[in-house]
């Protein structure tokens, strides 16, 4: 009898233990909801930050392009100023002899060489008109020399050279406006790498990589072509192209 009771108690205990083992744990739904809300909030914040970063990169690229364009304008102004200074010195030197035969003949010789060189250069319609006017003034200048009107000859020769300068200004405007033409600086612009970047032999992502430059490396910008900057770096000097987004 005692054995029977003990076996019954053991069986009951085993059933009770078995029931406790298979009972699933309770889940706290509020904790799960809070975690989901936090994840959703973080995802939204991450998207906002990603959008802001993209906008900042776009603004940075525009500013870099504006910087290069402004530097090119400044560089062009410096060259023009140097040319004007040289012309002023020449003009002062010639004031004493204005109207003389020597001055007239010298001006005509210079103008003849410069205008003659224009024949081998490509020109647009506007430049063709200016070149034609230059030649006409030059012919009239030579005719005035034959009449011994040296003052008039010098004046007409200067008018011819003004047409040549007009052609040069037209070509400079064309070089600045063409997005796919290389613009060179007479004075290098010092820049640094914003991040690691490739130095390529041509302004293209498909071009050969010359070297990989590290963040913070200094380079000398000597020109640009659209979104690409032509730089020089190292000793011995390496010349190549880097995308504008890599520099500041």
pTM, two decimal places: 0.41
Q: Which domain holds residue 237?
A: 183-246
Six-digit token string for 234: 């190292």
CATH of the domain at 204: 2.30.30.40
1 domain-assigned: no
> pLDDT by residue (tens digit) across 86-137?
676 566 555 544 558 888 888 898 889 888 888 888 888 888 888 899 999 9
Contact 193/217 with Cβ under 8 angstroms?
yes
Do residues 210 and 200 touch, judged by C-beta distance below 8 A? yes
Tell me how far apart the alpha carbons of residues 44 and 80 are, in angstroms, rounded to a whole number.
54
Structure letter (DSSP) for residue 26: P
- 221 falls in which pLDDT band (50, 70, 90)? very high
Inside any domain, residue 213: yes
Asked if the structure places residue 70 within a domain, the reply is: yes
Q: Tens of pLDDT along 4-25?
A: 444 554 555 555 554 454 555 5
Same domain, yes or no, for 73 and 148?
A: yes
Residues 139-175 pLDDT 10s = 999 999 999 898 889 899 999 989 988 888 777 665 5
Under 8 Å between Cβ of 122 and 171: no
């Amino acid at each position: 009898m005692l054995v029977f009771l003990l076996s019954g108690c053991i069986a009951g205990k085993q059933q009770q233990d078995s029931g406790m083992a298979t009972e699933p744990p309770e889940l706290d739904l509020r904790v799960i909801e809070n975690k989901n809300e936090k994840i959703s909030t973080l995802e939204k914040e991450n998207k906002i930050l990603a959008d802001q970063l993209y906008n900042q990169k776009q603004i940075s690229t525009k500013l870099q392009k504006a910087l290069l364009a402004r530097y090119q304008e400044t560089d062009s102004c410096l060259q023009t100023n140097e040319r004007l200074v040289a012309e002023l010195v020449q003009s002062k030197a010639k004031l004493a002899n204005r109207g003389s035969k020597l001055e007239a003949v010298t001006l005509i010789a210079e103008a003849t060489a410069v205008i003659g060189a224009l024949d081998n250069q490509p020109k647009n319609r506007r430049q063709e008109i200016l070149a034609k006017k230059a030649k006409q003034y030059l012919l009239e200048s030579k005719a005035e020399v034959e009449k011994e009107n040296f003052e008039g000859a010098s004046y007409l020769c200067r008018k011819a050279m003004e047409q040549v300068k007009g052609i040069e200004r037209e070509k400079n405007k064309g070089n600045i406006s063409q997005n796919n033409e290389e613009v060179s600086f007479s004075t290098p612009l010092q820049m640094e790498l914003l991040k690691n970047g490739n130095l390529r032999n041509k302004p293209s992502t498909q071009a050969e990589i010359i070297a990989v430059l590290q963040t913070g490396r200094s380079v000398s910008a000597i020109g640009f072509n659209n979104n690409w900057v032509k730089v020089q770096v190292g000793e011995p000097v390496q010349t190549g192209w880097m995308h504008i987004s890599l520099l500041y």
